[in-house]
Amino acid sequence: MWRRCLAATLLATSLEVSVSLPPRQPKDTYLQVPEVPEPSDFGLAELLSPLALQDLDANSDSAISETEFVAAAESVVREAAARAWKSLDSNGNQWLDLEELATVVRKSWKFSADRQLRVFLWILAKRFSAIDLARSARVSVSSLEEQVAEALRSVVFLDERRSLFDTIAGGREVGDEDGSLGFALWDSWTKRRAAASEKKKAKKSQSKAPNEL
């Protein structure tokens, strides 16, 4: 008899404890990935404009074929990605923590972050959103190569690359016809870009001047 009473008491105690346990932590209170808006472009013109024709002309025929342009565009984006990961990796361990991303977003976002950096902040945030943060809140730099490759296949990048090739070619729609760019066209475009950049800097400097008085 006393055994049955003891069993009943233990069962009641167990039920009471289980009922009093706090509910499982809601998903929206787990580690949060900072919100990074999807960029409208990759800033490809800014990445390519510092290059000389020789940097793109793989076969040394004094022209840039679309194939060479594609290779150069993808190369400068991958190089920009490597620079971005290095700048985000505060402790240099080749791993990017969610906190490292959150810190950069808090400090430099609000649409003032470097144009290219925005792209990679978005790629990294997208990567974190796809993993179980309860298990691990960090990703290796090497694992992000696939995310960059995926971005290079995106409609946004492909459209920007094709449009830029046509623009440099003088507005001719050659981006789908395996066209080519000669030295004169590339030189003209880079000079226009440089002039526009200097004009923008001068205007920015003038706008600051009254505030400094």
Q: In this predicted model, which residue has the larger pLDDT, 196 or 155? A: 155
Q: What is the pLDDT of residues 27-51, one digit of tens each?
A: 444 578 888 888 889 999 999 999 9
Looking at residue 6, its pLDDT comes to: 45
Looking at residue 103, its pLDDT comes to: 85
Tell how strand 180-182 and strand 138-140 pair up: unpaired
Q: Is the pTM of this model over 0.85?
A: no
Q: How far apart are CA 193 and CA 71, in angstroms?
A: 21
Q: How far apart are CA 5 and CA 159, in angstroms?
A: 76
Q: What is the pLDDT of residues 151-167, one digit of tens each?
A: 999 999 999 999 999 99
Rounded to the nearest 5°, which phi and psi values hold at 174?
-115, 0
List b or e across 14-33, with b for residues whose CB sees 16 or more CB atoms inside 10 angstroms.
eeeeeeeeeeeeeeeeeeeb
pLDDT over 70 (residue 104): yes
> For residue 88, which of 57, 62, 114 has the smallest C-alpha distance?
114
Q: In this predicted model, which residue has the larger pLDDT, 146 or 202? A: 146
Q: What is the pLDDT of residues 171-190, one digit of tens each?
A: 766 555 567 888 899 999 99
> For residue 89, which of 100, 78, 80, 76 has the smallest C-alpha distance?
100
Q: In this predicted model, which residue has the larger pLDDT, 81 or 1? A: 81
Geometric angle at alpha carbon 36, from 200 and 156, rounded to 5°: 70
Mean pLDDT of the region 74-93: 92
Q: How far apart are CA 23 and CA 106, in angstroms?
A: 31
Looking at residue 114, its pLDDT comes to: 67
Looking at residue 16, its pLDDT comes to: 45
Q: In this predicted model, which residue has the larger pLDDT, 46 or 197? A: 46
Q: What is the pLDDT of residues 106-145, one digit of tens each?
A: 876 554 556 678 899 999 999 999 988 888 888 999 999 9
Domain extents for the chain?
A: 32-178
Q: In this predicted model, which residue has the larger pLDDT, 103 or 207? A: 103
Q: What is the pLDDT of residues 51-82, one digit of tens each?
A: 988 899 999 888 899 899 999 999 999 999 99
Helix or strand (DSSP H, E) at 182: strand 180-182
